[in-house]
Structure 1
Amino acid sequence: MSMNNNVTEFIFWGLSQNSEVEEVCFVMFSFFYTVSLLGNLLIMLTVYAGNLYKSPMYFFLNYLSFVDICYSSVTAPKMLVDLLAKSKTISYVGCMLQLFGTHFFGCTEIFLLNVMAYDRYVAICKPLYYVSIIDRDRCNKMLLGTWVVGFLHSLIQVALVVQLPFCGPNEIDHYFCDVHPVLKLACTDTFVVGVVVTANSGTIALGSFVILLTSYTIILVSLRKQSAEGRHKALSTCGSHIAGVIIFFGPCTFMYMRPDATFSEDKMVAVFYTVISPMLNPLIYTLRNAEVKNAMKKMCRKVFWKANDK
């Protein structure tokens, strides 16, 4: 394969070519991104201010919020700027960095959700052994593992793309750089690369989705042995987690568990896991969590009292 790379920048088609639709999308997605940032920051502040990070569940929730902020920030700011710009361009290097960041934080979040499901499984199904199984040392190791796996996954994705020649055209029918849309622009046969990408990303997305649904099913079945109060508390936690898993993994599986092909619906499907899911996670993981809500109220009271003292 001769490396003939004449492309120094790519041009996005964006979410729409209609200026009025783009203005509506700008207002809507600006709101979504702002809520995502503020909501996840609020969770992180609450976890630290309320000393909740000592609990493994909130320790992982804190890092999920951090990953969500990073994940949405890889694509959302550029998308918002492009919605108001006439020329939606990104440099070749910027495109590769965006591709890396999307898969790095996306894969890290996938495995972090698996770790959180494991934490809930042990807490509900093996409560007597919870403290000994999920100790701080193991929490740190599992967290490190999510970052390492995310890095390796994204490194493979970028390595597959950067060795391809691009000689034009340079227009991407998407609002950010992802593997399948970029592969369409390569000046060579990308069948093998597409198969590897599908095997890599698709297996992670679908495999994790199945594992998560299976683990939560086991948890729900085991609730029959719990008391009414324990059942209600566990259902509140697991029910919201399952909703978050479906919203995130459903679109991801559709995008990556298929041959190297792109569809016109891909952009709207991608919005769910790049913008909507990071925004909903603060609500999903705290809306029915009394401990987090109480910690938020205490933090707000402290801030209010300090403001009045001044």
Structure 2
Amino acid sequence: MAGRNRAFFFMALPALILFFVFHTYPMLQGIFYSFTNWKGYGEWDFVGIRNYINVFQDFRALNAYGFTFQFAIVSTILVNIFSLIIAIGLNAKIKFRKTLRALYFVPNILSILIVGFIFNFIFTHFLPGIASSIGLTALSANILGNPDLAWVGIVIMAVWQATAFNTILYLAGLQTIPSDIYEASEIDGAGKWKQFWKMTFPLIAPFFTINMVLAMKNFLMVFDHIIALTGGGPGQATESISLLIYRGGFEGGQFAYQSANAVVYFVIIVVISIFQIRILQKREVQL
């Protein structure tokens, strides 16, 4: 038994070393530099918690946080609504449902940047051209160039791309529900809507928790979608925290300051995820 455990240890050791070198060590290094004034090059000095104080006084950072939370909340709600509806439809006894499942999963396979460039073309040329030809003046302009509407385009693209993964998880949850309980409820006179609220949703509540937490976490770290669609514009209207950290740290000589911003952001994501899990798990018990 000891020899077997030793073999398992040496099998896992390379992965552990790689994880430490490319994940844990850079993270610890970033936390260390967040207490300095390092620009990413040259000499540096310790500045204590000054960088952290400046983060909460930075108007640009606060705007980025506001946009990111607005985008993440709206996208998380829409993704879970659409994916649950699609999963229920694909779980029904319809023709070609296996083929449809494969088709609905395609967006998850495609690169976010590729999808973003496609949607960029749609919002910039395709939709305005069609809207102009049929007289819809409200859609004749590119919404990505409007500071008040650009975030809507990013939400549309992100929801379309992310719905596929959440749909697969909901389908897995629906597969765990025995069909007998639906037959019994139909005999008792329960309608489709009552079946969903009293049976389906309570039974897939753990999958709902997973989807909500994963979706919120992924949308809070939005980066590729914005790079492909707006680049953070117009102006700074769609600049997310991830994009701000990247630009300030690697392009603006603010490596230490943005490292502090990244630490704050990491703590916020962890707190939100734990809060979601606790609240939603309590709801699972109540259901």
TM exceeding 0.5: no
Taking structure 1 as the reference length, the TM-score comes to: 0.29
Q: TM-score, normalised by structure 2?
A: 0.30
Greater Rg, structure 1 or structure 2? Answer: 2
Q: Highest relative contact order (Cα 8 Å, sep 6+), 1 or 2?
A: 2
